Amino acid sequence: MMTKCVAIFGVHPIRDCLMRQYAEAGASLVLTDSFKIPSELPDELVVLTGESAVRDADAEACLGAMAEEFRGRAEKRPLVHLLLQNPATLRRLQVSDFEAVINEVFEVFPFTMEEAWAENVIARLPGIDNRLCPALDRTPVAADSRQFVHLVISGFDSYAESIAVKAAQLAHFPNYDGKVKHPLRTRITIVAPGQSPARDAFISRYHSLFDNSFYRTIDLEKRKSFLHHPQFEGSREDFVDIEWEFVDGTLNHPVMVGKLNSWAKDSGRQLTVVISGSDEAACLDMAIALPDSLLESEVPVWVRMQRDTVSKTLGQTPRYRNIRAFGMDDCGYDVRLPVMQMAKLLNYFYSCSYGSKGTPTSFPADEVEAEWRKAGALKMRLSSVCNVLSMATKMHSLGHDSEDMSTFYALTEEEIQSLSRTEHNRWCVERLLSGTRACTDTERSEIAADISLKKEYKKNRDAHYDLCAYDELQKDENGIDVRTYDNDLVACIPLIVESFLKAAER
């Protein structure tokens, strides 16, 4: 049920869209262009940072001041939708979190417009029909599939980076096998001229992932390339199912035109193209100049625009029917936060499965909320969000459409085992992206000799023993094979999805 009173602070082009969503749900709104501590705590808050009003640092300071003011006086934690301007602020919070008092008083969901649009382009939710995106895996990628997903991104701005990271978090499929000579990995190709500084910063920012990944750098003019190999290649089984290409050039370069032609015709490849940059006219011009073989196929082409001038004009022309706009400033965010509602159910599953209760068979609302309140760092709460964003893809790999719940009651043992491997691969990439590193050979030997060190190294070194291939996973400090948790989680997906959809209907 929607909140009764919502306070919206700050000014941003998306404010009118958010106001419409709340108005349609019957909420009463209190608007202010600046951040002021109210006399009473509202049921829900929206904080919109901007260049001239509330900025990222101001928003954190103001939330802290409000938390101090209402500490111990609030029966429930109000949800705060915190729109940040700088993606670096969001990355910092994911690592360091908010002040303790803010998490005590509020349930803060920080996001950027880049992050919101990356979800719209890449992610789907089971049973949610307002997602704009055609799937990266338009044909289900099952365990025996010989296809792989290939995302080509033109440009290296903050929107392009967010989409690349979101794809790496979510595009994991059961046909990946790290033991074979040429595993089928999801491929992400980033094409931009003079990209070396942005590329180097990106690789450094997510070095824990790239240390363990195959990635190729290509200079089209110099016709040079370099292939980076994972640091443990040859001594451990490959456990990262994402590979990267960084191409210094443009999609209009003859070499790239030839590649796009062949990729669009490749039956073993499911291709998606994203074109991003600050000059939307140049982005759109690049989109309509793509090779005929690509434009006339079913390959989705996403173009970043401040306002959607594509859907009602260019999108009506058969040749350009698959060109879609993203990145608009005045839409792209759902205040109902369905992803958080599913994340709460997943968190409850973890608290039961990892605790003494065992795998849950239902989700009592009060217990779900109580366990969510106990959730620790923002990094861990967002980990649950990332997990549920992958559920529709897992369902699709089993042959289920995102709308098809009528036959999705339970999984076979074979399906559970297949998706458990997929879930572990997804988790590995998620943790590596968050900065957690794989243990060294010495650390692995030390933990194998004394399993109690696993938790210590995770806490004090941010090094995780389980960042390894699925078949190399061992027992935890409780003597339980950690693969059991992946199995239980996968088996619980139908219950999580069913419970979420039933709650959404109320």
Region 118-326: CATH code: 3.40.50.720
Model pLDDT, residue 132? 54
What pLDDT does 28 receive? 94
Alpha-carbon gap, residue 71 to 256, rounded angstroms: 57
- Reading the chain (506 residues) residue by residue, the pLDDT tens digits are 456 899 999 999 999 999 999 999 999 999 988 888 888 899 999 999 986 657 899 999 999 999 999 998 877 889 999 999 999 999 999 888 999 999 999 999 999 999 999 999 999 877 665 555 788 999 999 999 999 999 999 999 999 999 999 999 999 999 999 999 999 999 999 999 999 999 999 999 999 999 999 999 999 999 999 999 999 999 999 999 999 999 999 999 999 999 999 999 999 999 999 999 999 999 999 999 999 999 999 899 999 999 888 888 887 788 999 999 999 999 999 999 988 989 999 999 888 877 667 778 889 989 999 899 888 778 888 999 999 999 989 988 988 765 665 556 678 889 999 999 999 999 999 999 999 999 999 999 999 999 999 999 999 999 999 999 999 999 988 888 999 889 988 888 888 888 888 777 66
Q: Which of helix, strand or coil describes residue 95?
A: helix
**pLDDT value at position 75?**
79
- pLDDT at position 400 is 78
Q: What is the pTM of this model?
A: 0.95
Q: How far apart are CA 427 and CA 279, in angstroms?
A: 35
91: its two tokens: 């990355």
Annotate 459-496 with b (16+ C-beta within 10 A) or e (fewer).
eeeebbbbbbbbeebeebeeeeebbebbbbbbbbbbbb
pLDDT of residue 359: 78
Domain ranges of the chain: 5-105, 118-326, 338-505
- Tokens 């040079």 label which residue? 224
Q: Residue 358: its pLDDT value, please?
A: 75
CB of 255 within 8 A of CB of 203?
no
How are the residues of the chain apportioned to helix, strand and coil, as percentages rounded to the nearest 5?
Answer: 45, 15, 40
Same fold, 5-105 and 118-326: yes
Domain 5-105: which CATH number of 1.10.3470, 3.30.530, 3.40.50, 1.10.8: 3.40.50
Q: 3-class DSSP state for residue 128?
A: coil
Q: Which residues pair with 49 in a beta bridge?
A: 54
Residue with tokens 């988790």: 427
